[in-house]
Amino acid sequence: MAAALDRLDTGPEFATAVLTGAGGTFCAGMDLKAFPTEGMPAGGDRGFGGIAARPPDKPLIAAVEGYALAGGSEIALAADLIVAAQDARFGLPEVKRGLFAAAGGLVRLGLSLPYQAALRMALTGEQIEAQELFQHGLIAQLTPPGGSTRRRRRAGRRTQTQAPLAVAASKRLIRATARWSTPTC
């Protein structure tokens, strides 16, 4: 993944990218049996999954079908836009295993969801339906099951038709200011 995102960032032929899963599931996270001996799967300075620590400079759309659990949710949260099937399910079940979402998912949840919704997801490990996350604004578009691929293509085309430097500057500014506090009068 890190190599693909490096190519996206440096390739002038690419304006945006779409990340999808296979076999009806986006990603169910890392192999917990391999974790004690192999450690967290990381891609250089991009971190977990080759994306969590340093997402690409160009727009990235996560097209989620099925499950996005644990590291899968963290990978989806690292994308700029999430397009999800109505029956998709998201979750951070790490707490059920004595772990916590250590690849940036907790921070991104806190920035993307209302406080109580973020805590519910982080503290219970429950799977949350895409419809609920759409209502909170985490998911940009909902599609019928199997439709996230078609919708993500449309979203990708919309970002590709915009001025690339303006898109890149807008993304950089929003990411850089996400943690700024709002001045009070």
d(CA 80, CA 134): 14
Measure the CA–CA gap between 87 and 152, rounded to whole angstroms: 16
Question: Pick from 11, 7, 57: which is nearest to 176 by CA?
Answer: 57
**How many of the other CB atoms lie within 10 Å of CB of 6?**
17
Which of these is catalytic: 13, 38, 65, 94? Answer: 94
- Other Cβ atoms closer than 10 A to 14: 15
3: tokens are 């190599």
Known active-site residue 94: yes
65 an active-site residue?
Answer: no
Of 65, 74, 126, 129, which is the active-site residue? 74
Provide the annotated active-site residues: 74, 94
